[in-house]
């Protein structure tokens, strides 16, 4: 397998882009990413998207997107794994270059979730959980995470305050990120008094959906200097799945696909979790942020909240996490989220993350999950 590098990237602010269509949102960012790599010829396009079928009624979205950047015959592969689509698209793109199938590919993530009624949005978000039994009988994605959070609080004897602290921290990071949907700080008091959505989940335990578009250009590492002076290596990638249904799990306090995917990615990159300088994890809910840090082995089980309070994931802490603001405050544009993580890790490793720049920033790990962790993709990035 060949070594792979990121030689171009771009993203737009997560928000409500009412004035742009899905293909316009993709095209702007993809063309900008290609320009940042010196406009190379590209062999294929991989795109993560979760809900174009619902939001724009468009099947075969890949072709619309390749058309939108003027590539009318380049294969464009749409990858749909719920809100894990972005990471999964990156994984396919990475493998296509690593295996020698393609030389230069663009991986995009695009999602437009703002233009539907709230009820429709709720329904679409819950399409990420198992439908034949769980959703059929009325469970929602919020409900499933409320069950997991409630059990976590009970099992480890953890108060809601610890989850609120995580949300406060995410907003603190987002305040320094101009691409964030919610770029402002919130007080612990506000987080503690937020309205309940599905007890014990409050609104501040949930990541806001949004419109967004992000893209990276991949090439073989040995050719990266043709396209950019500051390439970043994708040193490892791993993917694993779990049961789609929560009722099928022996233990709901771990997303074991995270551990397995991270194990594969770290093994490929010949690195240990302790070598990682910064993390972007999939905190679609505060509880999923907690489980990610535990399943990656960053912190002991049941201790995330306490560690967050003690500065674990601060910019200058031992394990800076979601310096972008995470899904919670940068925003969660569904199938684009995993590609946002890739762009943010790239910015950090290039030393271009502005106010939120971590130091050192030699190795970054990103983790993108679908639904209740039923498919997880992990990538390890390395400064060259």
Chain positions contacting a copy of itself, by CB under 8 A: 1, 21, 23, 50-51, 53-54, 56-64, 66-67, 72-82, 84, 88, 92, 95-96, 98-101, 123, 127-128, 130-132, 135, 239-245, 248, 257, 260, 370-371, 374-375
Distance CA 235, CA 2 (A): 10
Distance (Å, whole) CA 179 – CA 324? 8
Q: How far is the CB of 172 from a copy of itself (least distance, A)?
A: 32
Strands (E), the chain: 4-11, 44-48, 76-79, 105-111, 196-198, 201-202, 212-220, 232-241, 278-280, 363-370, 375-383
68 vs 269, beta carbon nearer a copy of itself? 68
- Select 99 or 187, whichever has its Cβ closest to a copy of itself: 99
Q: How far is CA 135 from CA 84, 132, 197, 322, in A?
A: 19, 7, 17, 30
Minimum distance between the CB of residue 241 and a copy of itself, rounded to whole angstroms? Answer: 5
What residue has token string 């960053």? 298
Distance in Å, CB of 129 to a copy of itself, minimum = 9
**CA dist., res. 236 & res. 250, Å (int):** 29
Length of the chain equals 384
Q: How far apart are CA 146 and CA 79, in angstroms?
A: 28
Give the shortest CB-357-to-a copy of itself separation in angstroms: 34
Nearer to a copy of itself, 76 or 201 (CB): 76
What is the nearest approach in angstroms of a copy of itself to the Cβ of residue 375? 5
């Amino acid at each position: 397998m060949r070594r792979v590098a990121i030689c171009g990237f771009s993203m737009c602010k997560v928000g409500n882009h009412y004035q742009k269509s899905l293909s316009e949102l993709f095209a702007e960012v993809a063309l900008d990413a290609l320009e940042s790599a010196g406009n190379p010829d590209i062999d294929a396009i991989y795109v993560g998207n979760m809900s174009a079928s619902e939001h724009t009624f468009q099947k075969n979205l890949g072709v619309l997107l390749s058309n939108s950047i003027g590539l009318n015959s380049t294969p464009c592969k749409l990858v749909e794994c719920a809100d894990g689509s972005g990471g999964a698209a990156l994984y396919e793109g990475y493998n296509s270059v690593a295996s020698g199938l393609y030389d230069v590919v663009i991986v995009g993530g695009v999602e437009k979730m703002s233009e539907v009624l709230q009820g429709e949005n709720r329904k679409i978000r819950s399409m990420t959980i198992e439908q034949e039994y769980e959703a059929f009988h009325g469970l929602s994605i919020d409900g499933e995470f409320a069950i997991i959070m409630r059990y976590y609080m009970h099992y480890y004897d953890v108060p809601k305050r610890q989850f609120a602290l995580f949300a406060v921290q995410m907003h603190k990071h987002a305040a320094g990120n101009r691409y964030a949907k919610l770029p402002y700080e919130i007080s612990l008091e506000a987080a503690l008094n937020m309205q309940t959505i599905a007890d014990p989940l409050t609104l501040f335990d949930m990541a806001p959906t949004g419109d967004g578009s992000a893209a990276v250009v991949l090439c073989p590492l040995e050719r990266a200097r043709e396209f950019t002076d500051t390439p970043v290596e994708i040193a490892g990638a791993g993917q694993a799945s779990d049961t789609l249904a929560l009722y099928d799990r022996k233990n709901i306090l771990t997303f074991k696909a995270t551990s397995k995917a991270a194990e594969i990615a770290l093994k490929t990159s010949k690195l240990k979790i302790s070598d990682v300088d910064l993390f972007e994890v999939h905190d679609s809910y505060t509880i999923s942020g907690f489980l990610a840090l535990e399943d990656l082995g960053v912190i002991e089980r049941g201790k995330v909240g306490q560690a967050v309070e003690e500065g674990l994931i601060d910019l200058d802490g031992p394990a800076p996490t979601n310096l972008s603001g995470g899904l919670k405050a940068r925003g969660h544009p569904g199938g684009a989220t995993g590609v946002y993580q890739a762009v943010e890790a790239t910015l950090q490793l290039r030393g271009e993350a502005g106010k939120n720049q971590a130091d050192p920033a030699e190795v970054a790990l990103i983790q993108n999950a679908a639904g209740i962790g039923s498919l997880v993709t992990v990538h390890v990035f390395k400064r060259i």
